[in-house]
Amino acid sequence: VSVPVHQVQDTIRARKRHLIMLRTPLCDLLGIDVPIMQASLGPWPAVELVAAVSNAGGLGTIGAVLQSAAQIRQQIARVRELVGGRAFAVNHSLRPLDAEAFAATLAARPAVVSLAHGNPGEFVLRAHDAGARFIHMVNTVRQAREAAARGVDAIIAQGTEAGGFSGTVSTLTLVPQVVDAVSPIPVIAAGGIADGRGLAAALVLGAQGINIGTRFLASAEAGVSDDWKQAIVRAESEDTTKVEFAPDVFPPGPPGGYEGLPRVLPTAYVTEWNARREDAKRHAQRLRGELREALAEGRAHELIPFTGQTAGMIRTVLPAARIIQEIMEETERVLAAAASSTANPRPRLPR
């Protein structure tokens, strides 16, 4: 079968256009090949995952929350061994920020520092002075404007679908508004994204990349228990729930910090105390103790397995590089399909 040369050239040109589109300015800013960031998994172990994502051309993120300065130094050194000179991020949280740990991160000079849960304030300048790019995560347009005024390099607009702490606005609603509010600062969409359709949608909304937590939690390299990964594989989106009593038991955010509640898979602990808010307040100290103990013993997921609504879309545990490859291929495919379907003449409506 012979195919006319011009048809082949058209196909190559169309393919190149999409590849060029997928390499967004954010990729150049952060020194990565694909616009996919692996979200911090908080206190859960993720060093192998961080390395797998960065080695696949994305941006892996070390979670610094509840880690000592020594632990952070160790994690950064290990990731460096695994990724060579590739970029990765270190994520800190303002719920609460550990000053010594933050200083340890800056001293290690990672390519990217990210922050969540409150106004980034002075931390932006300090990260810049250490030669790092600064990415800030927000749940509302007002928070995005505040962060932009502080000089952040990129903003993660996180919708309520996300695993872990989030606000109340959905990703589809939040992202385009944040894009409009902070342009030309690049926006990264988070919450509810687990495949190429999600990346395509984020790009169409004006975002330049995506920040993915739950899909990478159910990856071969994530250092969390297989029980949790399999629970994600089995879960439907509507199974996830917010921890309503979190304000009583989690460490408080900074004054004026962002409001939000963690999204988790339901456990007996969450179901019981969500139904007994007043009792949870009364027993706050005991509940806090139970959480701390579970964290120290590596079984915090038995109480509060942070998980987003994309659990319903995840049916297999895959290596991170394969997840990234599949997302990129699907994004190209669906963007091309959308472009060709909108290029077709519109069907005539019957009179």
Ligand X SMILES: Cc1cc2nc3c(=O)[nH]c(=O)nc-3n(C[C@H](O)[C@H](O)[C@H](O)COP(=O)(O)O)c2cc1C
Q: What is the closest distance, in whole angstroms, from the C-beta atom of residue 17 to ligand X in the complex?
A: 28
Q: Which of 160, 214, 219, 240 binds ligand X (CB under 6 A)?
A: 214
Point out which span in 24-32, 103-111, 175-183, 207-215 binds ligand X (CB under 6 A).
207-215
Which residue number, 45 or 283, has a Cβ lying nearer to ligand X? 45
Contact flag: residue 192 with ligand X (CB under 6 A):
yes
Q: How far is the CB of 198 from ligand X (least distance, A)?
A: 9
Nearer to ligand X by Cβ, of 294 and 336: the residue is 294
Q: Considering the rule CB under 6 A, would residue 93 count as an interface residue with ligand X?
A: yes
> Where does this chain touch ligand X (CB under 6 A) — which range of 25-33, 128-136, 289-297, 303-311?
303-311
Indicate which single residue of 161, 195, 221, 332 sits in contact with ligand X (rule: CB under 6 A).
161
Supply 153's token pair.
């390099």
The nearer residue to ligand X, 86 or 229, going by C-beta atoms, is 229
Does position 273 interact with ligand X (CB under 6 A)? The reply is: no
* CB nearer to ligand X: pick between 325 and 336: 325
Distance between CA atoms of 20 and 143, rounded to whole angstroms? 31
SS in 3 state form for the chain?
A: CCCCHHHHHHHHHHHHHHHHHHCCHHHHHHCCCCCEEECCCCCCCCHHHHHHHHHCCCEEEEECCCCCHHHHHHHHHHHHHHHCCCCEEEEEECCCCCHHHHHHHHHHCCCEEEEECCCCCCHHHHHHHCCCEEEEEECCHHHHHHHHHCCCCEEEEECCCCCEEECCCCHHHHHHHHHHHHCCCCEEEECCCCCHHHHHHHHHCCCCEEEECHHHHCECCCCCCHHHHHHHHHCCHHHCEECCCHHHHCCCCCCCCCCCEEEECCCHHHHHHHHCHHHHHHCHHHHHHHHHHHHHCCCHHHCCCECCHHHHHCCCCECHHHHHHHHHHHHHHHHHHHHHHHHCCCCCCCC
Q: Does 118 bind ligand X (CB under 6 A)?
A: no
Site string for ligand X, 216-255 (x = CB under 6 A): -x--------------------------------------
Alpha-carbon Rg for the chain in angstroms? 21
Contact between 138 and ligand X by CB under 6 A: the answer reads no
Q: Per CB under 6 A, does 39 bind ligand X?
A: yes
Taking the C-alpha atoms of residue 24 and residue 198, their distance in angstroms, rounded to an integer, is: 16
User: Which of 35, 60, 164, 196 is in the footprint of ligand X by CB under 6 A?
Assistant: 164
Question: Using the rule CB under 6 A, which residue among 110, 191, 196, 253 binds ligand X?
Answer: 191
Indicate whether 40 belongs to the interface with ligand X (CB under 6 A): yes
Residue with Cβ nearer ligand X (10 or 259): 259
Q: For the CB of residue 3, give the shortest distance to ligand X in the complex, in Å.
A: 41
Where on the chain is the footprint of ligand X (CB under 6 A)? 39-42, 44, 63, 65, 91, 93, 116, 137, 158, 161-164, 190-193, 211-215, 217, 306-308, 310
